[in-house]
Homo-oligomer: A and B are copies of this chain.
Amino acid sequence: MTGLTQHHSTLEVVLVHWPVVNKHGDIIGSAVTNLDIHDIARACKTFGVHRYWIVTPFDEQQKLVGEITRHWTSGYGAKANPDRQNALELVHVRTSIDEVVDEMQGYYGVNPQTIVTCASPQANMLGYDEVKKNITEDRPVLLMFGTAWGLAPEMMHKADATLPPIRGEGEFNHLSVRSAVSIILDRLLGKY
């Protein structure tokens, strides 16, 4: 394990825009949205996440993410709002989840544990405390989040583990991905 400092954990986050499903369950590629970049980068920075990966195979979308992040990391935004600069420096764009996993493998020397969330119970369910333990022990963990109506089933099945759904009173469970990421990071890395 190389290059680790005390400033971040071995937890990394990926926001996936392909392959995801639409409301009919069809596999689609979704569009990157500006606020997914900002809100999730700010949450990642707050909780000491090492890197925030954005996966899209579409050239134009990759360019868009690059333009937005550069505005805040080296353009006018960096001067106007240094806090935002610090957050958006965590953003890295890649073409596929496999690419992210390979880079993490190269960086940490072992494959990351890949973790998804799901609204219904899965065979490979893992509790928040167990994932927390892995992070405390500096094992690389990749938290995967889908946009649109969620990650494609093949990605869900390939993941090493599934976190229990976020629930309050009742059965309603339709959080935005921005809210879901924030809550899960707080559960895994929050201090209070």
Contacts and interface: CB of A to CB of B under 8 A. Distances in A.
A136 to B, nearest CB: 12
B169 A39 contact: no
Contacts of A190: 166-168, 183
Contacts of A162: none
A7 interface: yes
A39 B8 contact: no
A51 interface: no
Contact of A9 (B8, B47, B169): B169
Interface residues of A, number: 41
A7 to B, nearest CB: 6
B189 A187 contact: no
A79 to B, nearest CB: 13
A18 B167 CA distance: 32
Interface stretch (A65-73, A97-105, A108-116, A174-182): A174-182
A84 interface: yes
A164 B87 CA distance: 22
Contact of A178 (B128, B179, B191): B179
- With a 10 A CB-CB cut-off, give which of A45, A84, A164, A176 has the most chain B CB atoms: A176
B182 A192 contact: no
A66 to B, nearest CB: 22
Interface string A152-176: 0000000000001011111011111
Contact of A189 (B39, B47, B168, B186): B168
Contacts of A7: 169-170
A123 interface: no
